[in-house]
Structure 1
């Protein structure tokens, strides 16, 4: 059985950082590689003699932002090309390129509309009077910037593999419901479609569009339970 693994890179990086903590780029790349190979063992199943072959790991993301963005609290421009995140991201992508069976599919950031905005819970606290403007800190803001082309690339690649019958199973690591049309197409073509939301819940009606739901690290599942 041939298995292709699709990774929504932005989603994976956010979840792994939140649940597993900050680690060097080289270690995070190895962590992702090991995590994907856990899916191969899961696909094989217990007490099974079937052979499972990795077709490829498709990783989707955007290069880090390089431009300068005005920070309303600091009242100055922040040069993202000189941030630790920029350096870390470049090192992470370069490390993934060296990995066997990894294919990077890079989109673009809509950095023309990038801006700093308040985190939702901070904004609520301001509106409720629980926080004052003078109490705000740099950590209360986050950079808002959209990705372009990533979802489209995922959909096209899933469709291509399905139509060409190149794999028997597709594992998608993502928390985005935009995958549904691609999943439906793959299933119509006889592909076993497995979703891994890294422990996050999915909407009940999404179950009808996938063949399986699994996460390969208990830490992700336990982290969500603690948030409830």
Structure 2
């Protein structure tokens, strides 16, 4: 059997976000289990490509691996004042930052894994999460009524005088949305930089140097398309794993296969020996 040259590239931010959708809690609760799950994902892809049975006792899957790449960004290390909690937030010492740093250390211990780390920068101040923004912006619809007390001196409760029952309920809902706003509903405007660029550079470099014949990319981002087109023109097989997330018809045009492999059940064994 010929030896394949396979590279698996994992978009770490996307991978972490999709894990709750495809695996049980026990496969993602600690940095160790997340690192093991990333390795299992890679192994399943390689075994599928080389025609080896999943769970084979004498697996030689790593012999067919050029490199396993994990892309993410170093945790933001700035300090900011939370507008609702009224306290300083030191992002460098947060639970999320500690988790990511520990995860990176675990991945460094895995055979043939390489880390590619970008940066996180602050682009804007605190903002309300998207799921609440549209609802709270409806405040604008009620500005004329909110101004009514300034114009009405009759002594009649303005809500009774001006609002129908359905309007009163809608306004009450909006008021409750504002009252229930808590510190978890606002986030600092942070953005990853350098991650997509590193993915594109590695795909291009491996392709032009002839280091691989197959690339598996774990992401749902369309930014990879130019690099994928280059790889395919040079004869590299390009597989996309969106972790069961649907993709647009346009993206299908620029890949050679759509394969999601990471889905667990109660009988799955997480920790495997390093073959």
TM above 0.5, yes or no, is yes
After superposition, the Cα gap between the structure-2 partners of 1:104 and 1:85, relative to the gap in structure 1 and judged at 3 Å, is same
Show CA shifts across 1:159-204 (max 9, x none).
1111111111000001110000000000000000000111111110
After superposition, the Cα gap between the structure-2 partners of 1:18 and 1:141, relative to the gap in structure 1 and judged at 3 Å, is farther
1:77 aligns with 2:88: yes
Aligned to 1:119: 129
Question: Which runs of 5 or more residues in structure 2 are unaligned?
Answer: 54-59, 139-170, 265-275
Do the aligned residues in 1 keep the contact of 2:119 with 2:193 (CA within 8 Å)? yes
Do the aligned residues in 2 keep the contact of 1:107 with 1:149 (CA within 8 Å)? yes
Do the aligned residues in 1 keep the contact of 2:22 with 2:243 (CA within 8 Å)? no
Larger radius of gyration: 2
How large is the RMSD of aligned CA atoms in angstroms? 1.9
After superposition, the Cα gap between the structure-2 partners of 1:218 and 1:100, relative to the gap in structure 1 and judged at 3 Å, is closer
> TM-score when scaled to structure 2?
0.73
SS state of the match for residue 57, structure 1? Answer: strand
1:19 Cα offset (Å): 4.5
Do the aligned residues in 2 keep the contact of 1:108 with 1:148 (CA within 8 Å)? yes
1:168 equivalent among 213, 216, 219: 213
Show CA shifts across 1:21-47 (max 9, x none).
450111111111111111112212479
User: For the residues of structure 2 that align with 1:18 and 1:79, how far apart are their CA atoms?
Assistant: 29
1:195-210 counterparts in 2 under 5 A?
195-210=240-255
1:193 equivalent among 238, 242, 252: 238
1:9-158 counterparts in 2 under 5 A?
9-17=12-20, 19-20=22-23, 21=25, 22-45=28-51, 53-111=64-122, 113=123, 115-128=125-138, 130-131=173-174, 132-158=177-203
User: For the residues of structure 1 that align with 2:256 and 2:93, how far apart are their CA atoms?
Assistant: 44
User: For the residues of structure 2 that align with 1:154 and 1:123, how far apart are their CA atoms?
Assistant: 32
